[in-house]
Structure 1
Amino acid sequence: MNITVRTATLTGEWPTFYREAMPRNAMEGAERFTVLLLHGQAFTSKTWEALGTLSILAEHGYRAVAIDLPGYGESLHAQPMSSEKGRTDYLLHVMEALSTHHPVLITPSMSGLFSLPVLLQHPDRLRGFVPIAPVGTKSFKPQQYQQIKVPSLIVYGTLDTNLGSQSRESLQLLPNHTLIPLKGAGHACYLDRPEEFHAALLMFLSKL
């Protein structure tokens, strides 16, 4: 059976909480790479648990980890990160502390403030990148996106004419990308079309 484990804090400077789904074959040491899930401003790590994403990934052999970013969920009392460097260092620290070496990073909306600097400044730390209408894409130059070779799955809802369309303009500059529009879905498109989202995600992961 899949086991969802909840732990209290990370060692190091920045405490956080996370929920983790272990793959069925974890005891055999044959699990695939890690999928690290961030969340939007109105959500937490529990969103991925409730949606079934953690268990679906575990059932397919992936180690799935969803964290609460500082100031959200059960990391509510952690100090929010106010600078790009602070957010970048924080996410790199989380990746190291959880032994998520070269994870696939799923990053919706607000979490783009954490993930985009890591993608553009430390692309060698990521195996794959799954942006879902992330915030902050206009903060970087077109040339920066064009230099990134990390395989990317760009997911957006066709009804999200704000961040969805805005972020897509920049993200499409990534040379190794696939576009997945979820028809009739809004900003949190994975909630509106979970089956289509999970199918596209699993297909993407299977090719990495």
Structure 2
Amino acid sequence: MAVPKDSYLLLTIVFVGLGFYYLCSRSVPAPPMDMGIVDMHRQHADILGDVPGPSLDGMEMLRNPKSGPIVDHNIKGPIYNFDIPGLTEGWITLSDKKRIYKISVTPLKEVEGTRPPILLLHASQYNPYAWVETGLLFKLRDNGFKAVAVDIPGYHIARNLPKLTTESEYLTFLSDIIEFEHIQNCVIIAPEMATDFVMPLLKSREDLIQSVVIVSPLHEFNFSAIMNTRVKTLLMTGEFESFELKRYTSPNIEHIIIPLSANFFFVENSVEFNKLIMQFLNGLVIHGHGIAGKENDL
């Protein structure tokens, strides 16, 4: 019995469709954090509500600048409503009365040794929630560090605030945060464009910081500015970053080049990044000086 030509056409369409589905399913990136990532995404989706466009999967939620919650900056309460031990959220009031969002962690148990507080800034494509998603805030909490991740004016949650563009504005912004949070002698972790914010501190207010971690600075970054600093500095760059031509070294600088990585390795290769960060920070712990977490309150 002859088979109708329409049947061959239908079978062809079915097989092509199955093949396309298979290829697409294999291309979805695996999330870098095994525990709690589904709940975090569900929580994020609850905030956003019915947002038009395709659903966001894995780290795509962080890469999309429009995926941050739309926030009325007059609110005083939480945004994400975390129900996670040691993790809290709130707002910082700057000297000009503007308010920025923050996510903080506090150790769940006391540990020996004195640990510096950690201040985390974010890259242009992300917001403070990135440090939750990548797991670094939990690593800090579990290793006895107090930490606060803050939003930057002009981006995401604080998108309605004017962007900071001058060194004096950068200096005032970070000085306000350090004073408000009582985290003098802190370590600042600054990726990508946020590296510009720490330079005024290195030039004129070294007394406010113990150390800085500069991650994938912008291509026009002036490396000579950090070569003579007295502040202990960790410079982290990816092997495939276009300016990466040599290893920068000085008595106070440690330069780590991440193999097979570009400039967003702190998100896309967060497991290795977190490991290196914790190695560096644990080297700053002063042992035999009381219990961590007693000096600074976030």
Write the distance in 2 (CA, Å) between the matches of 1:108 and 1:119: 16
Cα distance in 2 for partners of 1:111, 1:53 equals 17
Q: Give the aligned length.
A: 199
Partner amino acid, structure 1, of 2:282:
S
| 1:93 paired residue number | 176
1:109–1:134 Cα contact (<8 Å) kept: yes
Say which one has the larger Rg: 2
**Equivalent residue for 1:48?**
131
Return 5+ residue gaps in structure 1 as ranges: none
Asked whether the 8 Å contact 2:234–2:256 carries over to 1, the reply is yes
Partner residue in 2 for 1:154: 235
In structure 1, the residue corresponding to 2:190 is in which secondary structure? Answer: strand
In structure 2, the CA distance between the partners of 1:88 and 1:173, relative to structure 1 (3 Å rule), is farther
- After TM superposition, the structure 1 = structure 2 runs for residues 44-193 of structure 1, keeping only pairs within 5 Å, are 44-135=127-218, 137-138=221-222, 142=224, 144-162=225-243, 165=244, 172=248, 174-193=250-269
Match of 2:61 in 1: none
Over 3 Å counting, the alpha-carbon distance change for 1:51 and 1:151 in structure 2 is: same
Equivalent residues of 1:2, 1:58 under 8 A apart: no
Structure number with greater CO (CA < 8 Å, separation at least 6) is 2
Query: Does the CA contact (< 8 Å) of 1:2 and 1:55 recur in 2?
Result: no
Letter in 2 for 1:8: W
Shift of 1:31: 7.0
Q: Deviations over 1:155-196 (max 9, x none)?
A: 11111124xx27x77xx3553111211111111111222122
Give the conservation status (yes or no) of the 8 Å contact 1:16–1:78.
no
Contact 1:10 1:17 in 2 (8 A): no
Which residue number in structure 1 is paired with residue 102 of structure 2? 18
Using the TM superposition, give the Cα deviation of residue 77 of structure 1 relative to its aligned residue in structure 2, in angstroms: 2.0
* Aligned-partner Cα distance in 2 for 1:76–1:6: 18
Q: Which amino acid aligns with 2:265?
A: C
Runs of 5+ unmatched residues, structure 2: 1-83, 285-298
Q: Deviations over 1:27-85 (max 9, x none)?
A: x9987321111111111111111111111111000011110100112222223212211
Contact 1:186 1:192 in 2 (8 A): no
Alpha-carbon spacing, 1:129–1:123, altered in 2? closer, same or farther (3 Å): same
Letter in 1 for 2:123: G
Q: CA deviation at 1:147?
A: 3.1
SS at 2:176 equivalent: helix
The structural deviation recorded for 1:6 is 0.6
Kindly indicate which of the two structures has a greater share of residues assigned to helix. Answer: 1
Partners of 1:18 and 1:132 in 2: how far apart?
Answer: 20
State the Cα distance separating 1:109 from its structure 2 match. 0.7
TM-score by length of 1: 0.85
Match of 1:153, as an amino acid?
L
User: CA 1:146 to 1:8, structure 2 compared with 1: closer, same or farther past 3 Å?
Assistant: closer
> Which residue identity does 1:51 align to in structure 2?
T
**Aligned equivalent of 1:196:** 272
Which secondary structure does the structure 2 equivalent of 1:110 belong to?
helix
CA shift for structure 1 position 98: 1.2
Q: 2:95, 2:112 → 1: CA distance?
A: 27
Which deviations, in whole Å up to 9, do the C-alpha atoms of 1:131-167 show, x marking residues without a partner?
01223532x7x3x5343121111111111124xx27x
1:104–1:126 Cα contact (<8 Å) kept: yes
* Amino acid aligned to 1:82: T
